Structure 1
């Protein structure tokens, strides 16, 4: 039986972004009570003889009570911070608190010292998806102290598995695709430049991401490729994007250092890693300062017809040794120059080598309009399935 550890926060902002994206895709928060969940909480209350049983869905900052069996009605939403269930999300397994008033970790919580005066709590985190993201809890509460034996905990966990399977049935593919598509960058206007991109998932969702935004006049531009495909890679990509957006003004070196510290552990637990190219452009001078974390799939085409591929000397995020500084680089986009950034799915459009970048460059020279160019890349992908997520971004200086 797991008694819990010292309370921690309800997770980093990146974890919250990933959880919120999946919760939105599950499409269970709105719509009121559903019998498929009411049945579970009803059985839980009767089986354990407690005053209340709850199935909660955790967003970034709010806990939604999806189903409750109790004499008093709560919610439908409460702040996630400083709740038993918020803390349960930080634990690996079941959390059992026999007497919250006698436990210094929980004694000062509002729901202990105030209504509903909880003394006993037991909860299990609910996980969904290939990456087993914790999206909520199934929990029991009572105003009287009590304990659970190993068989009781096992029963609570089985009820939790039932709840997880019911949640998973709500993962409608079209909605999931729409939610994660909403994580794509919004158009920005950079005088003297044209910017556009696309991401085509191999399955329902993509493990690639591309992101751009303005900070003052500077343009921040990123492309990343998480190892693998499917929902797990997509959720890890959403985690990276959330961490990027949390640092909108920082230079590339500091951004990647922060990701090495914050996101690399998530990637390690998922036995994955992510390559990334991220840079900051000064539009006036055309200078782009960048860090390339094992990506190496950036083509610079000059107005005079010359081209070069920017190669990386650093390891991807999740594989780079902790504490080791990363290499930085810079380039200048002169008038008429173009930068094409791709994920490795683009290489599979031809011969799986860097020669494919030159083939993309040739497509651009034939069709130097971003929308038309991207349409031709999509057409190529239909003819020659890359078998991988495909992302292409173009930055052109007029």
Structure 2
């Protein structure tokens, strides 16, 4: 059961990747139904189904619960003539199963967790050639399971690398909220204290999925390793380090990287093509910190510049990713209006989720970092 739980598939919504396989199986074999079935402790759950089958069935009645006990294809050519199934409610009543063929599917660690199966309401013979076709389709379903499991595990690792509680910094607070478009995010935020100063970053790797997620970890590690340098010098060093990787993936990284001196409120920052950070004063005046500097990884020899601003008491520095701008119809004025409200927010995560679930919801990763001087 642990292996099944690790996939995150039990009781999850239908997905086209699996539905395509069951549709193909039903058409290829000309049967009444096909499904990707997952076997839980007390029931069978159909992740994908074509035909008139219940999504949930007691495990005791499930044909697939027999299939997962063997590494081989289970074929029942006539269930009424098989002592194991002749009195099964699914044979005696709807869906009147007479023929069944199932191929085991595995979860993490190689444990059988379910099947790709086909059924019909009339007896059938099943040749070795047909068995091979079912095995080939099951291999495709198995890849779908493996990819989703890898993404779930990758998301857990990525979450573990995000900063935890904000550092103790009397007079200031820093917080962030992130909503990936999928399991893995191309956005990242980070903060840590270095020699009594707060270093913080929001970066966005172009694209979504595994590749950008790997690059976010590399960028974060590079910026942490250059904490003793000016923000602009840190960006230069990381860009040169990443140049070949970014070129191979045809990607680039926008980033806002900064350092706060808590004693003075001075923030020294460098912006690599991000251009969405906003300074909100205690009186709610808002200024966007635009930039002419390019993203990281565009070409060798690029230079970035360090700028500064002062956070007075009651001021905030708010840095959204471009997924937030997408939520607001790519309108910078709408973005400024929305960000003006965040310094007074008592629950940034709720406010961001409200935006994320709006009618024009973004298909991009969405992240916001807020530094306040109380």
Cα distance in 1 for partners of 2:337, 2:324 equals: 10
Please tell me whether residue 389 in structure 1 is matched to residue 368 in structure 2. Answer: no
Cα distance in 1 for partners of 2:370, 2:161 equals: 18
Q: Match for residue 173 of structure 2?
A: 194
Cα distance in 2 for partners of 1:184, 1:380 equals: 22
Cα distance in 2 for partners of 1:334, 1:304 equals: 11
Q: Match for residue 227 of structure 1?
A: 206
Cα distance in 1 for partners of 2:194, 2:370 equals: 19
Q: What is the root-mean-square deviation in Å for CA atoms of aligned residues?
A: 2.2
Please tell me whether residue 274 in structure 1 is matched to residue 228 in structure 2. Answer: no
Match of 1:368 among 320, 345, 354: 345
Cα distance in 2 for partners of 1:360, 1:181 equals: 26
Displacement of 1:170 in angstroms is 8.2
Distance 1:324 1:245, change over 3 A: closer
Distance 1:183 1:351, change over 3 A: same
Deviations 1:192-222 (A, max 9, x none): 0010002111011000011110002100011
Deviations 1:240-290 (A, max 9, x none): 112122223322122111112101221111100000110111011011111
The total of aligned residue pairs comes to: 232
Cα distance in 1 for partners of 2:305, 2:181 equals: 31
* Partner SS for 1:172: helix
Asked if the contact 1:349–1:356 (Cα under 8 Å) also holds between the matched residues in 2, the reply is no
Task: Give the structure-2-normalised TM-score.
Answer: 0.58
Task: Give the structure-1-normalised TM-score.
Answer: 0.55
Cα distance in 1 for partners of 2:147, 2:362 equals: 30
Match of 1:257 among 209, 233, 236: 236
Displacement of 1:316 in angstroms is 0.3
Cα distance in 2 for partners of 1:178, 1:280 equals: 28
Cα distance in 2 for partners of 1:364, 1:166 equals: 40
Please tell me whether residue 302 in structure 1 is matched to residue 281 in structure 2. Answer: yes
Which is higher, the Rg of structure 1 or of structure 2? 2
Where in structure 2 are there 5+ consecutive unaligned residues?
1-5, 8-142
Where in structure 1 are there 5+ consecutive unaligned residues?
1-24, 27-164
* Partner SS for 1:272: coil
Cα distance in 2 for partners of 1:247, 1:327 equals: 16
Asked if the contact 2:286–2:340 (Cα under 8 Å) also holds between the matched residues in 1, the reply is no
Cα distance in 1 for partners of 2:285, 2:195 equals: 32
